[in-house]
Amino acid sequence: MNNENVKILESNVNNSIDNKEEKMKVLIADDAEIIAKTIKNVLTEDDRLEILEIANNGTEEYEKIIELKPDLVITDNQMPGLNGIDVIEKIYNSDIQDKPTFIMITGDAFNPELRNKANEFNVFRIIRKPIDDELLKEAIEEFIIEKENEKQVDNSEKAMIEIKEIEKEKSLWKRILKFFGIIKNTN
């Protein structure tokens, strides 16, 4: 890779770092108002997060996921209508392009059947009720770090594609200039 390409790559990486990061959009789903408010209070402390809404049951949660397209859903498992794992399964098996990440809050966190289903549908973390604020904050931090790493990889891949396009364009111009005799044939 020549110096010009390195500069382009560095510029793209720096631009992605310098740009203000978008806030991660979060949907909370819990039928217990006190728990939903507790989760919201914990999340409000982190200015990298935008709390979209609180869904009071699984059916509402599913509809809000479709409508609001959150990055992260913090869901109770036992709710009226659909339970949390049913919503997750429904989203997982849907044709939604950008599926949200799920953190499940449940009093049944050690249930092997629930854990197996959660693993099957790529649940990011299961947190046992009563909620430990520090565990929730830790899970959120890990989620944000993972998403930021994904963005950096995406930006690096985009930069490499741009460099390849520039190389193709340079090669084409060299051939044109050689054809017209503007530059000599040098290998």
Q: Report the candidate in 122, 124, 118, 36 with the shortest Cα–Cα distance to residue 84.
A: 118
Q: Is the dihedral of CA 58, 63, 138, 89 positive or negative?
A: positive
Residue pair 102/73 in contact by the 8 Å Cβ criterion? yes
Residue 11 has φ and ψ, to the nearest 5°, of -60, -45
Q: Report the candidate in 63, 57, 64 with the shortest Cα–Cα distance to residue 84.
A: 57
Confidence class of residue 19 from pLDDT cuts 50, 70 and 90? very low
Q: Name the pairing type of β-strands 72-76 and 49-55.
A: unpaired
The domain spans of the chain are 22-150
pTM: 0.73
Choose between 71 and 17: higher pLDDT.
71
pLDDT for 169 equals 82
Measured CA to CA, the distance from residue 106 to residue 145 in angstroms comes to 24
Measured CA to CA, the distance from residue 118 to residue 112 in angstroms comes to 10
Report whether pLDDT(16) > 50: no
How many angstroms separate the Cα of 158 from the Cα of each of 1, 5, 13, 47, 68? 16, 13, 10, 28, 27
Please give the DSSP secondary-structure letter assigned to residue 121.
T
Quick one: average pLDDT of 21-39? 93
pLDDT for 159 equals 74
- Please write the tens of the pLDDT for every residue from 64-96: 999 999 999 999 999 998 999 999 999 999 999
Measured CA to CA, the distance from residue 115 to residue 15 in angstroms comes to 40
The residues with which 106 forms a beta bridge, in sequence order, are: 128
Fold held by 22-150: Rossmann fold (3.40.50)
Lowest average pLDDT, out of 44-48, 73-77, 136-140, 152-156, goes to 152-156
Output Rg (C-alpha) for the chain, integer angstroms. 23
CA dihedral 103, 108, 110, 114 (to 10 degrees): -70
